[in-house]
């Protein structure tokens, strides 16, 4: 079933079955072997608690305090690996968008990792008509979403392994974040932790 968390924010709980989740986690291990997880340092000089890498034409990076989409991994200098086919299949099934995504950002949350309230706005104005599609794997997370005003009201829900969230329309530029991970409560990833994939069209 579909659940509308906010206008244009469509959550499909349990979209991926256990076998599909495990296959995707394996494919992401290969991505991280080719493009090692990074700990981006924010403009304020603080390393993020979330570790990140990417697949596809472009990856989101912080370079010298600037947020950007780059065709190359900032440490290896190599191009990002291709987006795994099962991930592209999710995009085709739920995005309603005719073109493939340019970026699959991979976020890895260990114990205590979180992501503060923010908007995703580095993709370029011409990309805001396309949705962002998110896939959750591993431990559950408390996810928070508001509106387009930073100080507006928010609501939260738990995202679990296999859930797919498409953020389109009015929600594309909504504030959102991850309050906390329910570390060790899932059983997909050995040793615990959470993987989140976000598929994005980039026109920056
Ligand atoms: C709402 N990731 O990578 S995914 C991010 O769980 C990010 O790792 C979170 O926020 C995570 O930028 C949330 C759900 C999500 C993704 C993109 C959005 C929600 C969104 C874009 C616009 C509005
Ligand atoms: Fe985001």
Cβ(139) – ligand 1 distance below 6 Å: no
Q: Which residues surround ligand 2, an ion (CB under 5 A)?
A: 120
Contact 186, 139 (CB under 8 A): yes
Contact 139, 193 (CB under 8 A): yes
User: How do residues 115-127 score in pLDDT, each as one tens digit?
Assistant: 999 999 999 999 9
Minimal CA–CA distance to 167: which of 140, 190, 148? Answer: 148
Domain boundaries, the chain: 2-200
Cβ(135) – ligand 1 distance below 6 Å: no
How many whole angstroms from 184 Cα to the centroid of ligand 1?
21
Fold observed for domain 2-200: Jelly Rolls (2.60.120)
Q: Residue 204's pLDDT is what?
A: 79
How many whole angstroms from 139 Cα to the centroid of ligand 1?
16
- Which residue among 130, 198, 199, 200 has the greatest number of ligand 1 atoms within 8 angstroms of its CB, and so is best to mutate? 198
User: How do residues 83-137 score in pLDDT, each as one tens digit?
Assistant: 999 999 999 999 999 999 999 999 999 999 999 999 999 999 999 999 999 999 9
Contact 159, 141 (CB under 8 A): yes
User: How do residues 148-163 score in pLDDT, each as one tens digit?
Assistant: 999 999 999 999 999 9
Cβ(165) – ligand 1 distance below 6 Å: yes
User: How do residues 31-83 score in pLDDT, each as one tens digit?
Assistant: 999 999 999 999 899 999 999 999 999 999 999 999 999 999 999 999 999 99
Cβ(104) – ligand 1 distance below 6 Å: no
- Which residue among 15, 176, 177, 201 has the greatest number of ligand 1 atoms within 8 angstroms of its CB, and so is best to mutate? 176
Minimal CA–CA distance to 133: which of 164, 178, 155, 98? Answer: 164
Q: Residue 1's pLDDT is what?
A: 86
Which class for 169: exposed (0-12), middle (13-18), buried (19 or more C-beta within 10 A)? middle
Residue 142 CA: distances (Å) to CA of 8, 92, 160, 188? 19, 26, 9, 17
Q: Residue 66's pLDDT is what?
A: 94
Q: What is the pTM of this model?
A: 0.98
Bridging pattern class, strands 176-181 and 141-145: antiparallel
Determine the average pLDDT of the residues in 186-190. 97
Ligand nearest the Cα of residue 165 is 1
Ligand nearest the Cα of residue 198 is 1
Ligand nearest the Cα of residue 178 is 1
Cβ(120) – ligand 1 distance below 6 Å: yes
Determine the average pLDDT of the residues in 182-191. 98
Contact 34, 186 (CB under 8 A): no
């Amino acid at each position: 079933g579909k659940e509308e968390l906010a206008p244009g924010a469509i959550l499909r709980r349990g979209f991926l079955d256990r076998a599909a989740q495990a296959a995707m986690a394996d494919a992401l291990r290969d991505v991280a072997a080719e493009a090692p997880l990074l700990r981006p340092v924010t403009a304020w000089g603080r390393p993020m608690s979330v570790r990140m890498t990417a697949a596809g034409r472009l990856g989101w990076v912080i370079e010298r305090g600037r947020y950007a989409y780059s065709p190359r991994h900032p440490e290896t200098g190599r191009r990002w690996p291709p987006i795994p086919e099962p991930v592209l299949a999710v995009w085709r099934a739920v995005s309603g968008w005719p073109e493939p995504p340019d970026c699959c950002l991979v976020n890895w949350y260990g114990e205590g990792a979180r992501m503060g309230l923010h908007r995703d706005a580095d993709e370029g104005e011409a990309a805001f008509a396309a949705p962002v599609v998110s896939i959750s794997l591993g431990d559950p997370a408390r996810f928070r979403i508001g509106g387009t005003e930073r100080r507006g009201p928010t609501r939260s829900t738990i995202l679990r392994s296999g859930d797919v969230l498409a953020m389109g329309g009015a929600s594309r530029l909504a504030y959102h974040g991850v309050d906390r991970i329910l570390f060790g409560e899932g059983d997909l990833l050995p040793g615990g932790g959470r993987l989140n994939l976000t598929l994005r069209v980039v026109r920056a």
